[in-house]
Structure 1
Amino acid sequence: MTRSSKDLIYASKQDKVEKFVFDEDVAGVFEDMIQRSVPGYTALNQLLPIVANQFIQEGSNVYDLGCSLGEASISIAYAANCSNIQIHAVDNSAAMIKQFQARLKSLNLKFPIQLIHDDVAAVDIINGSFAVLNYTLQFIDRSQRDMLINKICTGLNKNGALLLSEKITYQDVNEEALMQQLHENFKRQNDYSEMEISQKREALENVLIRDTHEQHIERLQNAGFSKISVLTKYLNFVSYLAIK
């Protein structure tokens, strides 16, 4: 885990709340932000190398799509039970890639990590055994989501797997309202103020666009994944394991 400054991005009143972007300000506080905002984030990172080792194949490629500061890539590079894999870490945020690169300089990893500054949809998936798409699809235009999941499935080898994590929405309005309220209470418990919660919500409007559980399952099935399981669920944050 990286050392991160405390997230104070929305702690002061903003005359105009700009759309949320993964810039240098966010990259500098990202670990603190995601720990305090995403229920189950730590538990998922503990599970990730265990799950990855179930599917990583010798001589194959591993993809971390929307890698941010590289938590998934680094945990796999430390823990993979094989002798020859290549890890490709992709993010379209220059600030995230820059901090990830700096972080790598102090680490002694078992496997190399290739950093790629690009949109995840632009990267070719070839000879893949395991792919991670954590809290990334929700920031991609809806018109491109099916294509991306199809591309991942096509590029995975037989018995390869995708770990997909997303914040979901609900068809039932009462369930949606309850889960949103519980999530905001989670943030309050983690020392976010009412103003921070409100301004962050406004910044993410029309930027983080959620799908339902049913939409995710249908998309994964249509792409060609043969077995889809809910790996973890914390409030409205769900991780799916999809096996080809």
Structure 2
Amino acid sequence: MPFLKDSLYANPLGEVGAFKFDEAVVKVFPDMIQRSVPGYAAIISAIGLLAGRFAKEGSVCFDLGCSLGAASLAMRQQIAARDCRVVAVDCSPAMVEQCRKNLADSGVAGVDVVCADIRDMPIENASVVVLNFTLQFIPLADREVFLAKLYRGLLPGGILILSEKLAFADPQQQDLQTEMHHLFKKAQGYSELEISQKRSALENVLIPETFAVHKRRLTSVGFASVEVWFQYFNFASMIALKC
């Protein structure tokens, strides 16, 4: 599929519906994610390096909410451990179909792509689990139970890589970080209308939380160490380690 420039919100919409990872989004997703998430390419590259460092022989590395498979591909390219499987999971049929095509076109084998709700996916014998801008779309009430399940499925010495859009407890910081994100998107060519309509579409769909909340929850389910390794305005990626 030749991917297109993201113009989904370029024209005035009478009613802005809730954001969905449907076929229309799939067609523009590579452009959308690069122009909307500061530092996305750097995060993907580092996920590959981290997977190469933590993947264990005979284990499984999960990419949960894999979208078009960028993180899965980066992981597969860096993992040298023998008999280590990469499993990519997404609940969007359109995303999964294109993910499979992307991986096939890349010539990289060894990634199993599954269409399923990640909350229902069995997590066992895992050395690496990636949630790359995924948890923020899961209902708040489900997040702790889901993360506890991931913790149980990780082997000792395993790693969870969690990338999220952050909220800030300090109103001044919240306003500043939001403003800077909007300025970033303007610099990528998005108009005020596009930014406004996209924000409306994501309201009540993408629910961000503060780093303090993330760290407290991850610690409460058992992770021994939780830190931010990357942040660019209100987008961050965290590492949670299991002893």
TM-score range, shorter chain: over 0.9
Task: Name 2:190's counterpart in structure 1.
Answer: 192
Identity %: 42
- Give the 3-state SS of the residue equivalent to 1:153 in structure 2: helix
Shift of 1:120: 0.7
Superposed, which structure 2 residues align to 1:59-74 within 5 Å?
59-74=58-73
The CA distance in 2 between the partners of 1:16 and 1:37, in whole Å, is 22
Task: Name 1:54's counterpart in structure 2.
Answer: 53
**8 Å contact 2:47–2:71 — kept in the other structure?**
yes
Shift of 1:199: 0.4
The CA distance in 2 between the partners of 1:44 and 1:217, in whole Å, is 19
Aligned partner of 1:67: which letter? C
Task: Name 2:212's counterpart in structure 1.
Answer: 214
Task: Name 2:222's counterpart in structure 1.
Answer: 224
- Give the 3-state SS of the residue equivalent to 1:229 in structure 2: strand
The CA distance in 1 between the partners of 2:207 and 2:105, in whole Å, is 36
Superposed, which structure 2 residues align to 1:10-159 within 5 Å?
10-109=9-108, 111-159=109-157
- Give the 3-state SS of the residue equivalent to 1:105 in structure 2: helix
The CA distance in 2 between the partners of 1:3 and 1:136, in whole Å, is 25
Aligned partner of 1:140: which letter? I
The CA distance in 2 between the partners of 1:152 and 1:108, in whole Å, is 30
Structure 2 unmatched runs, 5+: none
**Residues 62 and 19 from structure 1, CA distance in 2 versus in 1: closer, same or farther, beyond 3 angstroms?**
same
- Give the 3-state SS of the residue equivalent to 1:78 in structure 2: helix
**8 Å contact 1:66–1:136 — kept in the other structure?**
yes
**8 Å contact 1:168–1:211 — kept in the other structure?**
yes
**8 Å contact 1:93–1:117 — kept in the other structure?**
yes
The CA distance in 1 between the partners of 2:154 and 2:194, in whole Å, is 40
Shift of 1:3: 5.7
Task: Name 2:6's counterpart in structure 1.
Answer: 7
Structure 1 unmatched runs, 5+: none
- Give the 3-state SS of the residue equivalent to 1:8 in structure 2: coil
Match 2:202 to one of 204, 212, 220: 204
- Give the 3-state SS of the residue equivalent to 1:106 in structure 2: helix
Q: TM-score, normalised by structure 1?
A: 0.97
Shift of 1:104: 2.3
Q: Name which of structure 1's ranges 81-90 and 24-33 shifts more when overlaid on structure 2.
A: 81-90
**8 Å contact 2:69–2:103 — kept in the other structure?**
no
**8 Å contact 2:167–2:208 — kept in the other structure?**
yes
Q: Which structure 1 residue ranges, 4+ long, deviate > 3 Å from structure 2? A: none
The CA distance in 2 between the partners of 1:189 and 1:148, in whole Å, is 36
Shift of 1:59: 0.3
| Structure 1 vs Structure 2 CA RMSD | 1.1
Matched pairs, number: 242
The CA distance in 1 between the partners of 2:105 and 2:44, in whole Å, is 20
Q: TM-score, normalised by structure 2?
A: 0.97
Aligned partner of 2:59: which letter? S
**8 Å contact 1:3–1:31 — kept in the other structure?**
no
The CA distance in 1 between the partners of 2:2 and 2:42, in whole Å, is 18
